[in-house]
Structure 1
Amino acid sequence: HFIHAGLMATMADHTAGYSAFTMVSEDYRILTIEFKINFLKPAHGSALKCRSQVINKGKQIIVSESKVYDVRNKSEKLVAKCIVTMMVVPVENIAKTKF
């Protein structure tokens, strides 16, 4: 069995978002505006691990790199790398949806 690529992409995006959150005050939110992921190997271990770090922080744009690892028998293999570009948005500028 293999782990679905969409799951790995979601992990990479979310982890990048949390790394970006560490760079802004709580008056701001982070929104992904672009990401590119390279799947390097199939993942089929018992667990996945994702790490992300901010590689560029601007006033309105933050770029993070995420790495997804296949974990088996206490060993980690890099299976995907992702570059995520995010926009820093003030909370009051986020649209309020009415249903």
Structure 2
Amino acid sequence: MGDHADPVLAHGRAVLASQPFSVLVGAELAALSADGHAELRLPLRQDLQQQHGFLHGGVVSYLADNALTYAGGAAMAVPVVTSEYKINYLRPAIGDLLIARAECVSRGRQQAVARCDVFVRKDGEEKLCAVAQGTIARLGEGS
């Protein structure tokens, strides 16, 4: 089945396209499933680096945050926002592609908990560069 036939992925990509910051940095939604799995990708560019030549931690954090929210939102099947998250940086992100793979580990009516591994790809090899966990909250009436 192609990506265009998958309504969950198609909806997720439409949401990503409506996020100005995601468009600015060039994020791509590579995978999304109703069981709470998400994969976001971000081609690394020089203008996203900090002074030491690493991808800026805020960009790594953004990708993890968004992947967590996609995973929790897909599992809950309602509009959501990130309530909180924590990230641990394990190594500098130096390479050509950042990949955030998230999964929902617990889902209720009002919130979900998701975890995310962030990898950096360099010369075809992926290395874990950050791990994150977050709480994803259902958007309430009037939010």
TM band (smaller chain): 0.7 to 0.9
Counterpart of 2:33 in structure 1 is none
Alpha-carbon deviations, 1:37-77, whole Å to 9, x = none?
A: 00011111111111000011122110110111010111100
Query: RMSD across aligned C-alpha pairs, in angstroms?
Result: 1.2
Q: Which amino acid aligns with 1:37?
A: I
- TM-score, scaled relative to structure 1: 0.85
The alignment covers a number of residue pairs equal to 91
- Structure (1 or 2) with the greater strand fraction: 1
The answer to whether residue 70 in structure 2 is matched with residue 18 in structure 1 is yes
Quickly say closer, same or farther: Cα 1:60–1:2, change in 2 above 3 A: same
Higher relative contact order (CA 8 A, sep 6+): 1
Quickly say closer, same or farther: Cα 1:4–1:86, change in 2 above 3 A: same
Question: What pairs up with 1:41-80 in 2 under 5 angstroms?
Answer: 41-80=91-130
Deviation at 1:35, TM superposition (A): 0.5
CA distance in 1 between counterparts of 2:106 and 2:61 reads 20
CA distance in 1 between counterparts of 2:73 and 2:102 reads 12
Identity fraction in percent: 29
Unaligned runs of 5+ in 2: 1-52
Equivalent pair of 2:104/2:112 in contact (CA under 8 Å): yes
2:80 aligned to which of 30, 46, 66 = 30
Deviation at 1:29, TM superposition (A): 1.1
